[in-house]
Chains A and B, each alone.
Chain A
Amino acid sequence: MAQQATGTKVADGKFLTFKVKEEEYGIDILKVRDIVGLMDITAVPRTPRHIRGVVNLRGKIIPVMDVRRKFGLEDMELRRENCIITVMVKGLESQAEVLLGLLVDSVSEVVQINSADVEAVPDLGDMRVDFVPGLVKMKNRVIILLDIEKVLQAEDLTVLQGLAKTEAQ
């Protein structure tokens, strides 16, 4: 039901919202596998900066992407509120689903979003916004919806897929 593919259309469905710096973002709940508190992250040498490292998630080793670094924001000191959201994402080439942790400032809530409430992203000139399928106004806040797979692809496919070349940007 909440299967939003390409395009800017967002289907009705539940979204998990989280905060990174001042903004609140929402991702499709169906992609989310787990939310865990901050744990020790083992740095992996020779990987891009936004890959914080790997963690032991109940015996599975999964990579963790720092959303702040990915969005080019400055680092913050890690606190108790920091969370790792694990998501199941599809790789481009292999089409195999992989688990990935997203390091965010904090997790807010799960909200029901109706497609009618989704507004398009304003034209931001050169800024690439295709990974944002839309915005949702709620009372006095704005939730920026994210297509997490597109976020990963944005500049970072090399890391995710181990491909040699970088896609776009």
Chain B
Amino acid sequence: MGENQKTGELQQELSVFSTRLMLAEETDATGVFNLTQEFQTWLGKAAGAGFIWVKPFEDLCGQIFKTLEDSALSVQAFKRLNQAVTRASETLFRVLQTSDSVNETPGVDQNPAQEIALTSSENKVLGDEDFEVIKERQSVLEVSEQDKDSFKDLLEEAPEHLQSIEEGLLKLSQQGIWDPQMIFGPFHTLKGIFGFMGFMELNELIHFTETVLEKYKKGEQQPKSRQIDILLEVTDCVKNQIEEIGQGLSSGVITLTDCSLVMLKLQSVEKSSLKPEESDDKTLEESEPLAGVGLNQPRKESVDQSVRISVSKMDALLEAVGELAISQTQVSQGIEDRKILGHLAAEAGRLRKITKQLQDIVLSLRLVPVKPLFLRMSRLVHDLGRKTSKEISVVLIGEETELDKGVVEDLAEPMVHLIRNAVDHGIEGVEERIRQGKSPKARIILRAYQRAGDFVLEISDDGQGLDYNKLEKKGREKGLLKSGENSDPEKLANLIFEPGFSTAEKITDVSGRGVGMDAVRKKVQEMKGGIKVISQTGQGTTFMLKLPLTMALMDGVLVRIGRERYVLPAAKVKKFMALSDTNKHSLGTGQGSWLVNREEHIPLIDLKVWFNSAVSDNNRAVAVHVENSGKQAALLVDEVLEKQSVVVKGLSESLGDLKGVSGGAILGDGRVGLILDVDTLVDAKLG
């Protein structure tokens, strides 16, 4: 039948078109113009085929062209075009669903374009920044107070299911391991949740996804990469919708973005996968793709129960426990001073134990595993790999390592930069890799672990590594290396963190503008951490980020310098040495001194000199041997007092950047003790 064939053609064209639209650059006015023209052509064809409902869309195109007269408004125009295309696809989809007759108009929606025209005119008033929020208005749901809470509860678990799905998909795409359990259970649970909440569109979308996936369920067959991509898109779509529902719950009105585009893509996948292979495989009946399948699946219950607490409440708790610890110390001190024995002293001991326990628990509350962050990054590698046509697998090591929640959130930005960089500059194209005798599939390793009170994150790729000759040349050009200055690889490698330094020859869509690495270092430093790069030309590059485990509580060693007490991070302290037990040596004026202790030569830093503190008795002086990422120093203090866990506070920004001091801590007696910044102290001496 010519008619049917024509309809199929139209549908396919629109599907292709909408995919292209997704890849288009919204700021490119000419591009948007051309796309709009193409859409117009398609509308013409559709009208020719008898689809009378396309008429309003043609008017809409006119509006878009008008908007495009001002090229600054291309984003706005693009959004409208996107809306229009989505709407058209959806309508077409519905028309074809209800009947194949082209003459029938969609019953529900008499004028599908009208709504967009309406929102578009609203958009005009609202300005560009509001567009992200508005999107296509599809279903608007009002929620009663009573439903709100149960909805919230249901939604809480949704991200976990999505994470499992994403993890499963990425595992397949990157390691070739197909674990249907990770996908089917969560999808099914999500479907149930949405069904219960009355979000039928989402329910249907997931149901359809399940249907498409049906044949992979047993694990004998695996989805192809194109299907994985679409499934990831479905996950994204669901994720967005959950966010929107979440937002909507606070306002009482839920506005959902339309997800028919994804649905359409799913359909195309399902069709294409039917044709070439497994044509005998009974996958699904085309006539009723939404038949009940998979309903008998067992629900996958999550094992550990959890309660969600708001971060502000947690911080308040932490603060209160900190205060409790202070007051507990004072009580214990008082009991000791007054030489009170017996019952009260025993209770004070118990109080201390409980307080310590409480502190540990509260601290651990703030710690979360880096796994979700790692998964986000694997996803990024996947997407970037597609974009640059490179084959990359991601290996995650130590994803259970825990880190302060705040730090995890801040870590995303520098990681994205580093990964983009690795994919774009580090990893070679497939042909190049083969030419060099490397495996065509590149590898990125994300590794997390704890070391000496620090959290360490490594991002390694097996790409081309740094070109030290190029770095040196560029460094000299930019005047970052003095002529005649000897340049060791470490110094050269660190050049990449200089502002505006880039050896990338072409500026690509992904990276290469020379702003990234600079921003990365700045961000890491803001987080009180450090970054290092290790690279071997031709072999690959590793970025090593070192961050403090937590910003909240710290085990400290209290020392006295002059009249003041200072806190040293206990994790950095190796040992204490009485000055009399060691041999002190110095050059000339006594400025550069070092200690000899068990065959070791350790540079000595007299903190009193560093802090310009009044010189007092030096007979009890103790040298505290500290180590920071391999660098050592002995810090000379007047007295070592005790070990105490302290609540770490930032110093007021009004004090500016204090060298050698990383923050303040409230000590047991309520006074402030400054925390010594071992990193800077050691570096200032040796670096």
Our pick among A45, A56, A94 for the contact of B666 (Cβ within 8 Å) is A56
Residues of A within 8 A of B657 (CB): 162
Which residues of B lie under 8 Å from residue A54 when comparing CB positions? 651-652, 655, 664, 672, 674
Count A-side interface residues using an 8 Å CB cutoff. 29
**Residues of chain B lying within 8 A (CB to CB) of residue A98:** 652-654
Decide yes or no whether A120 CB sits under 8 A from chain B. Answer: no
In the bound complex, CA of A98 to CA of B653 (Å): 8
Cβ 8 A contact of A94, one of B649, B650, B653, B664: B653
The answer to whether residues A51 and B655 also contact, given A45-B613, A56-B671, A59-B666 and a CB cut-off of 8 A, is yes
Q: Which residues in A have their C-beta under 8 angstroms from that of B649?
A: 59-61
Q: Is the CB of A162 within 8 A of B653?
A: yes
Does A63 belong to the interface (CB within 8 Å)?
A: yes
Q: How far is the CB of A31 from chain B (nearest CB, A)?
A: 15
Min CB gap B607→A, angstroms: 9
Q: A61, A100, A162: which contacts B664 (Cβ < 8 A)?
A: A61
Is B656 interfacial (CB-CB < 8 Å)? yes
Q: Contact between A100 and B659 (Cβ–Cβ < 8 Å)?
A: no
Within A93-130, the residues touching B (CB, 8 Å) are: 94, 96, 98-100
Most central of A61, A62, A162 by chain B CB within 10 Å = A61
Task: Indicate if A82 sits at the interface (CB-CB under 8 A).
Answer: no
Chain B contacts with A in 653-680, Cβ cutoff 8 A: 653-661, 664, 666, 670-674
Contacts of A62 in B (CB 8 A): 652
Chain B hits for A51, CB < 8 A: 655
- Docked Cα-Cα span, A158 to B660, in Å, equals 18
**Total residues of chain B contacting the partner, CB 8 A:** 30
Q: Min CB distance, A41 to chain B, in Å?
A: 8
- B452 → A minimal CB distance (Å): 26
Does any Cβ of A come within 8 Å of B319's Cβ?
yes
Q: Measured between C-beta atoms, what is the minimum distance from B661 to chain A in Å?
A: 7
- The answer to whether A42 touches B673 (Cβ under 8 A) is yes
In the complex, the answer to whether A42 meets B656 with C-beta atoms within 8 Å is: no
In the complex, which residue of chain B has the Cβ closest to the Cβ of A158?
Answer: B656
Please judge, given known A-B contacts A45-B661, A61-B664, whether A56 and B672 are in contact too, CB under 8 Å: yes
Taking a contact as CB atoms under 8 Å apart, the answer to whether A45 and B660 are in contact is yes
Closest B-chain residue to A89, C-beta based? Answer: B654
Assess whether B671 is in contact with A159, with CB atoms less than 8 Å apart.
Answer: no
26 A-B contact pairs sorted by A residue (CB < 8 Å): A42-B672, A42-B673, A45-B610, A45-B611, A45-B660, A45-B661, A46-B611, A46-B658, A51-B655, A54-B652, A56-B672, A59-B319, A59-B323, A59-B647, A61-B649, A61-B650, A61-B651, A61-B652, A61-B664, A61-B666, A98-B654, A158-B656, A160-B656, A161-B654, A162-B654, A163-B656
Spell out A's residues near B (CB within 8 Å): 40, 42-47, 51, 53-56, 59-63, 91, 94, 96, 98-100, 158-163
